[in-house]
Structure 1
Amino acid sequence: MTDGTPNLRELNKRRTREAISHAATRLFIERGFDRTTIAEVAVAAGVAKMTVTNHFPRKEDLVLDLHEEIVAGLARTVAGRAPGESALAALRRECLAAIDRHDAALGFSGPAFARTVTESPALVARLREIHEQSEDALGAALAEATDSPPADLTARLAAGLLAAIHRTLFAEVFRRTLAGEEHGSTADAIRPAAVRAFDQLEGALGGYAVRPAA
């Protein structure tokens, strides 16, 4: 469709993907990730096994179905920063907003889900890989924002510092969730720490990758 509205085929594809993800998450929580097969997920979702693998080529992404959002999120924030806004300021703004809305991409979830992830070495490894990919994407976005070569060392170093805030907050949200803490109190606890982390980087990166004023 030309107005940006998803067509029926896209809607059906999205609904099928969501149904598969929900069925898989339920089974993984009940039985454990490593003890559940793709075939069992397909039966629970009412689809063919090939349909599951078409939507989720990696079994781990049945659980971590927000992986694309996590990988692209930081880079997208930098690319969309306002005129006169630095990369640091844009990432600070979006990070605090994500905390306030209890964003799943920052780790907010239920205890059963967090436990399923942390008890599976395969999922822990995949989550680490996702955060590494997010850092790489951020480095590329910073290089582009500063008209630097794609492998620019300054951009990669800056990405490492900035992505570490997101990665550390994600781990802390998971830790508090596993301890049974409510989302509201978790957000109240980590927000000041996030502000301090960005403040500490202000001297080094406050003037870096500032979008020129229109």
Structure 2
Amino acid sequence: MGEGLRERKKRQMRQRISEVAIGLFVERGFDNVTVTEIAAVAEVSVNTVYNYFEAKEDLVLPPEDASPWRLADVVRQRCPGDSAAGAVLAWLREEIRGRERRVGLSAGFGRVLEMMRAAPTLSARLEDLGRQMTDALAVVLAEETGAALDDPLPRAVAWHIGCLHALVYAEIGRRITAGECPDVIATAVLELLDVVEGLLGEQVLGYAVREG
């Protein structure tokens, strides 16, 4: 079933509020813009903004894009024959090849990244998000492999995958800051993924293979 009129209007309103907010944040800084100002420029009420975004930080890092279950969900949805690390590697490659906004490869993301780095609350949220994703992934790996509560292996594998994920975002951020274009960045990061995959080793790459 396609998107209904009501759902489309809600999506469009959410997108408009987010775009207005990010534009103001980039122009003036995250801490220098209030939700009241965002509502005024978007021509909606303050309550409407909060109906779509529970917190000011959600305007930049919406839960659906910055979810602590992001890595865990990728692993849960992997196909038979795929390992946990293999599923995450494939997913990252797909998003990078697609120049997805969520990995920072859309036009103009450089200024957004600079704004985020300059805002202590956003920087802290990103750092905490990385820890939460690794923790959530460790739980899923332990459940799927039937590991004992005191078995360190699921946590260790989750840590390697979490580091891989963080490295990709750090490399994209570094290259964006240096002024490289999305196509150049994508090519370089795909090469980086090939190198990292070769370094992980069979114990990580072959861990938690989904049975057919």
Whether TM exceeds 0.5 here: the answer is yes
In structure 2, runs of 5+ residues without a counterpart are none
Separation (CA, whole Å) in 2 of partners of 1:167 and 1:63: 18
- What residue in structure 2 maps to residue 19 of structure 1? 16
1:3-53: CA deviation from partner (whole Å, max 9, x where unpaired): 4x3333322222221111001011111111110001001111111111212
Matching residue of 1:29: 26
Relative to the length of structure 2, the TM-score reads 0.89
| 8 A Cα contact 1:108 1:174, kept in partner | no
Does 2:60 align with 1:80?
A: no
Counterpart of 1:206, as a letter, is L
Question: Is the CA contact 2:105–2:186 (under 8 Å) kept in the aligned structure 1?
Answer: no
Equivalent residue number for residue 199 of structure 1: 198
Q: What do residues 62-81 of structure 1 show as CA deviations (whole Å, max 9, x unaligned)?
A: 1123x433423322221121
Offset at residue 152 of structure 1 (A): 5.8
| 4+ residue segments displaced more than 6 Å | none
Q: How many residues align?
A: 209
Structure 1 position 150, deviation (Å): 7.8
The unaligned stretches of length 5 or more in structure 1 are none
Secondary structure at 1:69's aligned position in 2?
Answer: coil
Identity rate, percent: 36
Q: Following the alignment from structure 1 to structure 2, what is the Cα–Cα distance between the partners of residues 8 and 151?
A: 51
> Mapping of 1:56-205 within 5 angstroms?
56-65=53-62, 67-71=63-67, 72-109=69-106, 110-148=109-147, 153-205=152-204
- Conserved in 2, the CA contact under 8 Å of 1:38 and 1:52? yes
8 Å CA contact retained: 1:70, 1:134: no
Q: What is the Cα-based RMSD across aligned positions, in Å?
A: 2.0
Amino acid at match of 1:104: R
TM-score of the superposition, structure 1-length normalised?
0.88
